[in-house]
Chains A and B, each alone.
Chain A
Amino acid sequence: MTLPLAATSIVESLAGWLASFISSSPELVRFVVAAIHIGMLAAFFGLPAFAFIWAERKVSARIQDRLGPTHCGGRFGWLQSLADGIKLIQKEDLAPATADKFLFRLSPYLVVVASFASFLFLPFSDGLVAVALDCGLFIGMAVLSLEVLGVVLAGYSSGSKWSLFGGMRETAQMVSYEVPLGITAVIPVLICGTMNLNEIGHMQSGWFTNWLIFHSPFTFAAFFVFFVVTLASNKRAPFDLAEAESELVGGFHTEYSGMRWSFFFLAEYASMFFVCALAVLLFLGGWWTGIAPIDSAMSSILGGYPGRVLGLLVLLTKSGLLVVVQIWIRWTLPRLRIDQVMETCLKYLVPISCFLFIGSVMYPLFWLTVLGRPTMLPVSSIGNRVPVLPRAKVPATPAEDHDHPHGHGPGQHTHEPARQSSVVPVPSQDSAVREVTLRGDL
């Protein structure tokens, strides 16, 4: 079976790197490397979930002025998740007499499979992606949204009113929150001109001003809308109506016990990590540190595979921080009512995201009319995108400057003698005016 090209190149690059240390048969090295990557993918699914379950307990405890787990594993209770897992394995696997046993047993696996499958499309670092597709973002989000299916089936098949209500709420919530989620995710796609997450990551290289969150005021707002919507689509508080203890006992997982219950938990934390990594890739510069010298040193000095591992660590750190923010929000804000949840989505988030979408479409066009020339490069120059710098003075080519003889304001001159730069004239009444560097070929 032939592997997808990206995965093959990754395996080959590490195998080549390892082969310089180990002198054994190349087939064996290649096999070991492929096995390592499969293990890594499974680890990215399981280990962050373990870490975040521990973090959830610890952060919630600190927010509520408690200590949280302290003993397990010596200090800080860092092995608490493992202890929880051992406890859950020992529990009896119950199914209610009224349940549809077949679907009841199956639905936790559906949730886990949907959550795990979405990890296949996530580039953890430059090219470090299991299935590199040109529609990676689309298919990743589509697969992740299958998670709701398992929740609905779990709610239905439990044979309990509480579970059924939890499942129905989850459906209503997920389906309506998919709309703003899709619209805000389209904004980076629109700017980058690709749905390939790896290329979207590449377009944000260099300084952190290249991150898409700083691309325009609209993308800045879009990041926060995206983040709020991912909270809701992961049924995290304050949108965790599907498991509202005060009304629905435990929501859709009321009747579950032991490992089947913990599968729901595992999938929830894994998809929390997935949406945070997606937010990082779409808006927060992906695997780049955002400091251009460090990034170029990372890729040139280390080069090849070790540089990719560093990028992976950067991505894990960024998305881990976002997950901590999710936990922080959960233990800070009270839960909404179900009508308020729907109202937040349909009355506020959908119009806001539509406005942001139109805004980010119009933003380059606005500057096109003001400056008289385009401010965005064509897609062909991926990784070489001209940064949109706030208040930066613009070196323009003399040829283009002839077309806009609006006069040069004092203090608007750039200091780039090497490029014979001049200034793009901009109406100066607007203090928030952003000028844009341009390449000569535009």
Chain B
Amino acid sequence: MNEIVFAIFALAACGGALAVVLSQNVVRMAFWLIISLSSVAGLFFLPMPTSSGRPSC
């Protein structure tokens, strides 16, 4: 389950980053940048085990 959510966010982040590079329109590029950045932000909410063994959030 955790891996699936991670995959969704990771794909969105990478796809958004690619679309930033490939889009012609500046405003669309900004939009894809937001998608990419917020997907990276989403990764932080995944309860990954930390070194102390507790979920990170």
Contacts of B1-41 to chain A: CB distance below 8 A: 1-2, 5, 25, 27-28, 31, 34, 38
A51 within 8 A of partner (CB): no
Are the C-beta atoms of B31 and A1 separated by less than 8 Å?
Answer: no
Q: Which residues of A contact B27 (CB under 8 A)?
A: 100, 103, 153, 156-157
A4: interface (CB < 8 Å): yes
Give Cα A5 to B47, complex, Å. Answer: 10
Q: Given known contacts A131-B45, A153-B31, is B25 in contact with A100 (CB within 8 Å)?
A: yes
**Cβ-defined contact, B55 with A4, below 8 A:** yes
The 8 Å CB contact of A149, one of B2, B25, B34, B47, is B34
Instruction: Decide yes or no: A131 and B5 within 8 Å by CB, A1-B47, A153-B27 being known contacts.
Output: no
Per the CB 8 Å criterion, the residue count for chain A at the interface is: 16
Whether a CB of chain B sits under 8 angstroms from the CB of A2 is yes
Which has the most chain A C-beta neighbours within 10 Å: B27, B31, B38? Answer: B31
Question: Which residue of A1, A5, A131, A133 is within 8 Å of B1 (Cβ)?
Answer: A1
Q: In the complex, what distance in Å separates the CA atom of A5 from the CA atom of B31?
A: 33
Question: How many chain B residues touch the partner (CB < 8 A)?
Answer: 13
> Shortest beta-carbon distance, B4 to chain A, in Å?
9
Least CB distance from B52 to A in Å reads 13
Alpha-carbon separation in the docked complex, A234 to B32 (Å): 25
Report chain A residues within 8 Å CB of B57.
4, 131, 133
A96 to B38, CA, bound (A): 29
**Cβ contact of B55, chosen from A5, A100, A153, A157, cutoff 8 A:** A5
Bound CA–CA A153/B28 (angstroms)? 9
Q: For the complex formed, measure the closest distance between the CB of B28 and the CB atoms of chain A, giving whole angstroms.
A: 7
A2 touches B55 (CB 8 A): yes
Known: A2-B55, A100-B28, A153-B27. 6 other contacts (CB 8 A): A1-B1, A1-B2, A4-B47, A4-B55, A146-B38, A153-B31
Which B residues contact A (CB, under 8 angstroms)?
Answer: 1-2, 5, 25, 27-28, 31, 34, 38, 45, 47, 55, 57
10 tightest Cβ-Cβ pairs between the two chains A and B: A1-B1, A2-B47, A1-B2, A2-B55, A156-B27, A4-B57, A133-B57, A103-B31, A149-B34, A153-B31
